[in-house]
Structure formats: C-alpha cells, structure tokens
C-alpha cells in the first residue's frame, strides 16, 4: 500500500465537505483515511514509540454505560453450559455504541452533493448498507490489517483542572476549544505527524462514576443528551485536515460537543461521511494519561483490531497503547 497523495491543506480541497478519491466498492474506499497507515508509517511508529514495552488497554468496561442513551439496547452477558458439567460458553449481546467503539464509515451520513440527498462516505446509500449482499464501506475493510500507528494524547481533562480550576462534566455541553488543544500540544512538546491517531481526553469515566443510579437512568432517557467535546468550527476542520490524521478518538460520548453548537461544521459530517476519518468514542484514557504523565511523553504506539464483520457499522476498538 503506497502513501496516498492528498491535497496538502484544507484550502486545497476542491470540495471541503467530501474527499472521495477511491473507486466505489474498492478496498481503498473501505479504508477511508486509514490508507495513511502505510507499512512505512507503521514501521516508523513502532521504531520510535516502543521503548519500554509498557502496555495500556483503552477499552472501557463493556457494562459501564448502562443504561445507554439514544434508546440503545442494554448490554447482556450470559454464561451457559455448552456441555453439562464439563465446559462453559458465554453469549454477548451488545451494541458497540454503548461503550468504547470506532464509528465506522457506515455509521453516519451527511448532506450529499445533490439537494435533499443524504449519503454515507463515498456516496454510499442507505439502500446499499441495508443490502445483505453488499459490504461497501463495511468495517470488515478495517479488520484486514487493523489500525496501527503513532498515537498522540491531548489530556484536556487534567489540564483544565490544573490551569482553569475546572472539573469537566463530560455529560454537559462543555466545549474544548482548539486554542486549548494547541496550547496543551505546545506545553507537552507535541509535534503532529501525518498519519497520527489523535486522542482527546475529557473525563467521561470520572463523570459516570460520580453519578448515582437515578442520574444514570435520567441521562439514558433524554431525547437529546448533552456531551462534552471539541468545538465545531472551520478552524478545527483545518486543523484536522492539515495534520492528516488517520483517525481520531476520545473518551467523550460524541468526540465533538453535542448537540452541535455550530451544526454547519458538524465533524461527523465532514470527517466521517466526508473524508473517511474513523471517529473513536468512549475510549478509556485514564490510565493512558497517567502513564504519559509518569513517562513524560505524550506519544505511543497504537494497535487496534476492529471486529472482522464485513458489513459492520461500528466495532469495539480492541485497542492497546504500547510505550
């Protein structure tokens, strides 16, 4: 897989809302911006980032966000005898969107090139996604080689506490400004590289653990819950494109502030449906942040193995950071 030739800057994009360079139904189309993770990029990340061998898994407990929002089905786990008195099996029934997950390219659509049209990445239609014979832009494309490369953490949650005396409520419309992200990057000596996997910590696990059962139930029953996340703006879009991130992720429920404060710059519309950038949500970044702080470094090697489901819409990340 050779390095894709991308427009260098946001201003170079002929159509700011969509970049669909690959042929429909092709493997390259299915990968989206993961095409940036060439063998050379991955090898360089492994060579420069794996130094001590310490490992941190970024998968939040599957049962944590229970009950889930948006009327999603609650997690179920059953243990059953497969052979009485001899061996157990277990059965999992869950929606990946209830806990740590990658939003696949089939997850979110956006206004299309034609008026009154909504399409998914590449111009894929909902009819194609619902077609049991079609695996166009399914998450199975990501499963072939996985997601691996250099991860970069912006620990906004700790920075806001220490510098602004703010304890972020991740289930509020708290907005993380791009200016604060850039300040944190500068203070931590982070220089972004093409193909990086960008992580933003806003503290969802702490918010959730601080709620009682009644508060959790009330959250799950809201028609329009509120979530902290990065701002929506043209500046953020420029930042995301100009740095050519292969994927982005957060411990936030929506990555971007929700409901959108500036719907015209909805990041899911641009990044997921428009550019094919995977968006990770509800990753557990607490131990990652502690390890970064202890080691005095904010970059690491990332390995993620999405589920090998050809028609999949989303997937648990099965993600590990290696230092």
What is the predicted pLDDT for the residue at 64? 84
Cβ 197 vs Cβ 149: under 8 Å: yes
Closest CA to 190 of 239, 253, 251, 250: 239
Q: C-alpha distances in angstroms, 140 versus 100, 105, 136, 167?
A: 18, 11, 9, 38
Cis peptide upstream of residue 259 (ω within 30 degrees of 0): yes
DSSP SS3 for 298 = coil
The gap from C-alpha 48 to its chain's centroid, in whole angstroms, comes to 23
Closest listed residue to residue 250, CA positions, set 177, 134, 183, 156 = 156
Q: Are 103 and 268 in contact (CB under 8 A)?
A: yes
In the numeric block, which tokens belong to residue 166?
């703010």
> What is the torsion angle, in degrees rounded to the nearest 10, for the CA atoms of residue 308, residue 60, residue 251 and residue 216?
120
- All structural domains of the chain with their residue ranges: 19-72+89-322
19-72+89-322 is classed in which CATH architecture? 3-Layer(bba) Sandwich (3.50)
Tell me whether strands 101-103 and 279-281 are parallel, antiparallel or unpaired: antiparallel
Phi, psi of 247 (to 5 degrees): -160, 160
Per-residue pLDDT 10s for the chain (323 aa) are 556 789 999 999 999 999 999 999 999 999 999 999 999 999 999 999 999 999 999 999 988 887 777 778 888 999 999 999 999 999 998 888 889 999 999 999 999 988 889 999 999 999 999 999 999 999 999 999 999 999 999 999 999 999 999 999 999 999 999 999 999 999 999 999 999 999 999 999 999 999 999 999 999 888 899 999 999 999 999 999 999 999 999 999 999 999 999 999 999 999 999 999 999 999 999 999 999 999 999 999 999 999 999 999 999 999 999 99
To the question of pTM greater than 0.85 for the whole model, the response is: yes
Whether the CB-CB separation of 240 and 256 falls below 8 Å is answered with: no
What stretch of H or E contains 147? strand 147-154
């Amino acid at each position: 897989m050779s390095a894709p030739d991308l427009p260098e800057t946001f201003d170079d994009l002929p159509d700011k809302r969509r970049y669909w360079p690959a042929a429909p139904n092709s493997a390259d189309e299915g990968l989206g911006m993961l095409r940036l993770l060439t063998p050379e990029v991955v090898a360089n990340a492994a060579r420069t980032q794996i130094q001590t061998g310490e490992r941190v898994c970024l998968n939040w407990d599957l049962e944590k966000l229970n009950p889930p929002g948006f009327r999603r089905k609650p997690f179920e786990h059953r243990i059953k005898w497969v052979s009485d008195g001899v061996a157990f099996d277990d059965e999992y029934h869950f929606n990946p969107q209830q806990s740590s997950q990658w939003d696949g390219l089939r997850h979110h659509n956006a206004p299309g090139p034609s008026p009154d049209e909504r399409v998914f990445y590449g111009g894929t239609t909902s009819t194609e996604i619902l077609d049991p014979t079609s695996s166009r832009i399914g998450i199975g494309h990501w499963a072939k080689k996985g997601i691996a490369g250099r991860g970069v953490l912006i620990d906004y949650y700790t920075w806001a506490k220490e510098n602004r005396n703010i304890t972020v409520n991740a289930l509020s419309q708290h907005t993380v400004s791009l200016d604060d992200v850039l300040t944190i990057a500068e203070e931590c000596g982070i220089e972004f590289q093409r193909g990086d996997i960008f992580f933003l910590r806003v503290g969802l696990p702490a918010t959730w653990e601080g709620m009682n059962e009644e508060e959790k139930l009330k959250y799950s029953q809201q028609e329009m819950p509120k979530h902290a996340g990065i701002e929506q703006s043209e500046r953020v879009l420029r930042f995301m494109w100009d740095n050519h991130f292969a994927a982005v992720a957060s411990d936030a429920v929506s990555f971007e502030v929700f409901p959108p404060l500036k719907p015209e710059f909805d990041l899911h519309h641009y990044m997921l449906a428009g550019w094919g950038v995977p968006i990770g949500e509800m990753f557990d970044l607490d131990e990652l942040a502690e390890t970064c702080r202890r080691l005095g470094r904010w970059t690491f090697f990332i390995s993620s193995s999405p589920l090998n489901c050809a028609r999949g819409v989303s997937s648990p990340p099965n993600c590990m950071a290696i230092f």
